[in-house]
Structure 1
Amino acid sequence: MSRPGARPAGNVRALAASAWAFRWKVEREAEVRFETLAERLEALDEPPHLVDLARRAAADERRHATHCARLAAELGQRVPAREPPPPPAVAPSGLVEQDAVTYELVAACCVAESVSVAVLTTLLPVARDPSLHEVLRELAADEVAHARLGWAHLAIAAARRRTAFLGPLLPAMLQGSIDDDLFHPVEPDREDEALLAVGVLPHATKRDLFVRVLDEVIFPGLEGAGVDTAAAREWLAARARR
């Protein structure tokens, strides 16, 4: 990463390096998840364009992981040489395969990727480093396509009247999509506005953005597909009151 201007302080560099290394792990796990989802969609005889989108997403995530590893290394932290372990299934046991795939796609795409798009587009205007800006722009464009995969599949599931089961399961899905401390106070270094310039949201900004995306994008989208979001809204309200 070229670094015009002042060099970030050591604590900011260390936090950013850790964040990009963690993103590398998330991207590698997402690669495997999308590869598996492509196979499962194909086995269910789902529309070929959804299978293609899932396979393309897997390739995108591998490319993203390469960027994340490079940025982490440039900030002072190398990612492990070994591959991260395969990600666990996130759908609860007991669902039939068709509904389990829907759950996985809603969690991975409608929730996680929609939030990721918002994070990346928030970071883009403040990323002064040209190479970082280019990476964020590339990731944001790809994540939009990944989110569309989930929403497209959800629309098909809604047409089949197979979305109502998601309502009671949303709180667990949302809990699994966040860091354990998202709704808790953190050390002052993690609120440093200087983190923005190295591609990391300050903690409170990340939390506020998550809440806004749920309220403005995810909840309305789910409701439009026939999913009752009352339990999810109650989950969010309980955490916002902390």
Structure 2
Amino acid sequence: MTTILVTGGTGTLGRLVTERLRRAGHEVRVLSRHSEPYAVDLREGGAALDRAVTGVDTIVHCASTQTGGDEKAAANLIAAARRAEVPHLLYISIVGVDEVPFPYYKAKLAVERLVEESGLGWTVLRATQFHDLVATIVRGAAKLPVVLLPAGVSDQPVEVGEVAERLAELAQLPPAGRVADMGGPEVLAFTELARTYLRAAGKRRAVVSVPLAGKVYRAFRAGGHLTPERRTGKVTFAEYLSRR
């Protein structure tokens, strides 16, 4: 049995990683801003973070926010991990962070580089977007009488539980560097994903593709966030919706 710290351990992904590691017999510490006894704001660090990482064999870094601060949080975590001589830091990133100039992706790429240059044993897994994020985007667009979506953009959603399973597996292995990306089983146009959602929700809406401008849109349209050669996920978007 090893001791594993999961940052963001109460979140969508971290909670599932924690469950799987505990089922495998490991001692798991859950770190989040409000989860005792390891309630820590990674952006601030401090003595509480040092206590959380002391005696840990592996850190699974799932904590992230689109409101900013990921780089500072990672820097604090890495510094604490070095002081505690943690053998393995595992980070979950996103497919396309080096291809799409979206601000959140840029932050994730910067954290990847911090991890790689940390001097710790490290593993980085990139995954495509989760089903629930795609569903949230489409659900928001479907509040209008006409569903407006960016023309020519596809996505490859993956089941969060499958990503959690892969992370739990990697957490129990030695550091492996950058491992193969993980993508969902289907690459579908956003318009088709929207129609799948509307059918599942029993809603009737017109779906309209809208051309956009800018570097971010061009990168998404070019498929920089996709990994069609790595369709390792099994659960399709339609299956995800049917389960909900």
Q: Same fold (TM over 0.5)?
A: no
Relative to its length, the structure with more helix (as a share) is 1
Q: What is the TM-score of this pair, normalised by structure 1?
A: 0.28
Q: What is the TM-score of this pair, normalised by structure 2?
A: 0.28
Of structures 1 and 2, the one scoring higher in RCO (CA 8 A, sep 6+) is: 1
